[in-house]
Amino acid sequence: MLTSYVPIFIFIVIAAAFAAFTIVFARLVSAQKPNAIKLEPYECGIEAAGDARDRYSIRYYLIAMLFVIFDVETVFMFPWAVSLGKLAVFGLIEMLLFLFILVVGYFYAWRKGALEWQL
Amino acid sequence: MPPGFSSSDFYYLMPELVITAGALLVLALDVLLPRAWERVLSWVTVAVILGAGLALVPSAGQNLTIARDLVAIDGFATFFKVLFLVAAALTVLMSPRYLTLENVHPGEYYFLVLCATLGMMFMAGGVDLITLFIGLETMAVSFYVLTGIIRPNKRSNEAAIKYFVLGAFSLGLLLYGMSILYGLTGSTHLRVIATSLVAGDGGLLLPFAVMLLVAGIGFKIAAVPFHMWAPDVYEGAPTPITAFLSVGSKAASFAMLLRIFVAGLPAFRADGLGTAWGQPFGWGAFFYVLAVVTMTVGNLAALTQGNIKRLLAYSSIAHAGYILIGIVAGSTRGVSAALVYLMIYAFMQLGAFAVVVMLRRKDIIGDELKDLTGLYATHPGAAIAMLVFMLSLGGIPPTAGFMGKFWVFGAAIDAGYVWLAVIGVLNSAVSLYYYIRIVVFMWISEEEEKSAAFGISPAVATVLAVTLAMTVLLGIYPRLLFDFAQASAASLGSVPSLGLR
C-alpha cells in the first residue's frame, strides 16, 4: 500500500532538488555588484516610502470579509453546477435555500452600512 | 431526493430548522424594524425557542439516525436539546435590561444566541465526527463574538480575544485527534469507529489520538489543566452570556464527549490503550485524573475570589469535575448521573447568574462580592433565591444539587470507584465555604453602603422563579428527571450496562 506513495516521494525529491540546484547554481555563476539601491526592499518597482507597519481602516477588513464570503459562495456553486444533473430539483432547492441565507446576511450587512466607505 | 435522504429527515430536523429560520428572522427584523421596536426582538427569540421546543415533540421516544446517518434522533439527543432550549430561553429572558444598560445592540446578540443553540443541538445529535465538529464550530464562533459584544468594554474585548485564540488552538487539537481516528478506521462515523477499532490498532497512535481528544474537549468543558481561559472569559463576557457559556457550552461539550468516548470508543474505557505501572488503562483513566484535579483546583481557587463571576467560573470548573465522575463510572448509571447533574446544574447556575444580572444597574457593574452587601434587606426575595442556589451548588439537601451529587457519587461507588467519590465529597465540603461566603455578604448590611433599591424586571423575575422552582422541585421530586436521564443514557450507543437500580 505504501508503494503507491513512491511517485509522490520522487516528485517531492525532484522538486526540492530543482529548487536547491537553481539557488546554488545562480549563486555560483552570477556576478554580484551590490549597491544601496539594489539592496532596498522591493516594492513593485516603486521607491519605498514610509513604514510598512501602518494602521488600516477597519473597513478594509469588513469589505475583505464580505468578499471572501461571496467568493466562497461562488466556489461552492461550481461543483454544484457540474453535478446539477444528478441533484435535480432537490439540489436546486438546496442551493436556493443556501443563497437565501446568504442574501439575508447580505441584506443585513447592506442595511448596517457595511458597504459604505464613509459613515 | 438523492439516495439517503427522505422527507422524514426534515420532519425530525424541525427543531434545528425552526432555530435556523428564527435566527434569520431575528436578523432581518433587526434591520427592518425601527429602533423603538428593539424590545420585540427578545420576545421573537423566546417565541422561536418555544417553537423549536414544540418541534422537538415528535423526536420523543425515537431512536434512529437521519440524513445519511449523520445525525441521531435518540433519547440522548432529545435530553440535551431540551436542556439547550431551556438554557437559551432563560438566557434570552435575563438579557434585555442588561443589554440596554450595556448599550449592546440586541439584533446580533439574539441572532448569535440562536446560532450557538443550533450548534449545540448538532453537538448532541451528531454521530459523525464531522457533524460534531461543525456543531462545535458553530457554537464556538458564536460565543467568541458574544463574549466581546460589549464593544467599548476592554474586559469584554480581552475576554473575547483570549477565548478566540485558545479556543481555536484547542479546536485544532481536537481536529487532529479526530483525523487520527479517521486515519485508523477509514471512517468518521462513530458506529464504524466503535466496531472496527480493536486494542493495539495503530500502536501508539490510538492513545495519542485519545489524548488529543481529551485535551480538546477538556478545554471546552473547562477541566483543569485546560481551564485557564474560563475565569477571564466568564468575568469579561456579558453576564447572561457567561451564564449561557457555563451551562449551554459546557453541557454541549459533555454531550460531544459522551458521544465520542462512550458511543465511539466503548471498548477502550477501562483498558486497551496501553499499560502504566503494570496496569492496563483506557480513556477512563484520563478522565479519572482530570476529575480529581478539576474538582480540587476549581474549589481551592474559588476560595479566594472577590468577584462573583470569577467565583462562579471556578465553581463551574469544579462542577465539571463532579460530572466527570459520572463519566469515569461509565455504566449507564454513570452516564445518566452525568446527565442528571448537567440538567440540575443548568438550573442552579442560571439562577445564580440571573441574580448577578439583576445586580447590574446604572453606574454599578455589580459583579463584586461587596455589591451583594445588604441584598437581603433591600430585596429579600432575590436574596432567598440566591441562598437556595448557593446551597444547591454546595450540595445541601433538600435542594436539587444534593440529588445530583448523590446520584453521581452513588454511580461512582456502584462502579467501584470509592476513592473518587470520597474525593468528591471532600471537595463539596470545601466548596460550601465560598458558597456560604456569598450568602454571608447578602445578609450583612452596612447602612451607609447600601445602594438605592433597584427594580427587578418581570423577565428576570420569571427566570428567578423558574430556576428557583426547578432547583427546589428537582430536589424534592427528582424521579421524573432520573427516569428521563436513564432512558436517554440507555439510548447512547453501546453503553456497557452494569445493571440499573
CB B355 within 8 Å of CB B460: no
Tell me the average pLDDT of chain B. Answer: 89
Q: CA of B143 to nearest chain A CA: how many angstroms apart?
A: 18
User: Between chains, do A107 and B30 touch, taking CB under 8 Å as contact?
Assistant: no
Looking at chain B, which residue has its C-alpha nearest residue A93? B1
Helices B129-147 and B154-185: crossing angle, nearest 10°? Answer: 170
Count of C-beta atoms within a 10 Å radius of residue B58: 14
Looking at chain A, which residue has its C-alpha nearest residue B107? A108
Looking at chain B, which residue has its C-alpha nearest residue A110? B31
By residue range, what is the domain housing residue B48? 7-492
Residue A118, domain member (yes or no): no
Residue A42, domain member (yes or no): yes
Can you tell me which residue has the cell 444580572?
B357
Closest Cα to residue B266, out of B312, B218, B315, B210? B210
CB B237 within 8 Å of CB B116: no
Count of C-beta atoms within a 10 Å radius of residue B353: 30
Q: CA of A111 to nearest chain B CA: how many angstroms apart?
A: 6
Name, in order, each residue with C-beta under 8 angstroms of B26's C-beta and a sequence gap of 6 or more.
B41, B44, B45, B48, B107, B110, B111, B114
Residue A117, domain member (yes or no): no
CATH number at residue A21: 1.20.58
Residue type, position B238, single letter: P
B64 pLDDT more than 90: no
B364 pLDDT more than 80: no
Count of C-beta atoms within a 10 Å radius of residue B145: 17
Q: Pseudo-torsion of CA B146, B147, B153, B154, nearest 10°?
A: -140
What is the residue-wise DSSP string for B353-390?
Answer: HHHHHHH-BTTB---BGGGGTTHHHH-HHHHHHHHHHH
Name, in order, each residue with C-beta under 8 angstroms of B235's C-beta and a sequence gap of 6 or more.
B155, B159, B242, B307, B309, B310, B313, B367
Q: CA of A20 to nearest chain B CA: how many angstroms apart?
A: 32
Residue B281, domain member (yes or no): yes
Q: How many domains would you assign to chain B?
A: 1
E strands in B218-307: 274-276, 279-281
Interface ipTM > 0.85: no
Phi-psi region of B94 (alpha: psi -120 to 50; beta: other; left: phi over 0): alpha
CB A84 within 8 Å of CB A76: no
Helix (H, G, I), strand (E, B) or coil at B128: strand
Q: How many domains would you assign to chain A?
A: 1
Residue A53, domain member (yes or no): yes
Least confident of B109-113, B314-318, B374-378, B386-390: B374-378
- What are the pLDDT digits (tens) for A14-31? 999 999 999 999 999 988
- What are the pLDDT digits (tens) for B5-47? 788 888 899 999 999 999 999 999 998 888 888 888 999 999 9
Does residue B183 sit at the A interface (CB-CB below 8 Å)?
Answer: no
Least confident of A34-48, A76-90, B126-140, B475-489: A34-48
Length of chain A, in residues:
119
Residues of B in contact with A111 (CB under 8 A): 31
Residue B1, domain member (yes or no): no
- Chain A and chain B share a number of CB contacts under 8 A equal to 20
Q: CA of B427 to nearest chain A CA: how many angstroms apart?
A: 48
- Gap between the Cα atoms of B166 and B171, Å rounded: 9
Does residue A86 sit at the B interface (CB-CB below 8 Å)?
Answer: yes
- Gap between the Cα atoms of B98 and A50, Å rounded: 46
- What are the pLDDT digits (tens) for B224-254? 899 999 999 999 999 999 999 999 999 999 9
Does residue B4 sit at the A interface (CB-CB below 8 Å)?
Answer: no
- Residue of higher predicted confidence among A59 and B161: B161
Q: What is the CA radius of gyration of chain A?
A: 25
Does residue B28 sit at the A interface (CB-CB below 8 Å)?
Answer: yes
**pTM beyond cutoff 0.95:** no
By residue range, what is the domain housing residue A34? 2-112
Residue B2, domain member (yes or no): no
Residue B172, domain member (yes or no): yes
Can you tell me which residue has the cell 439510548?
B491
H-helix or E-strand containing B311? helix B308-329
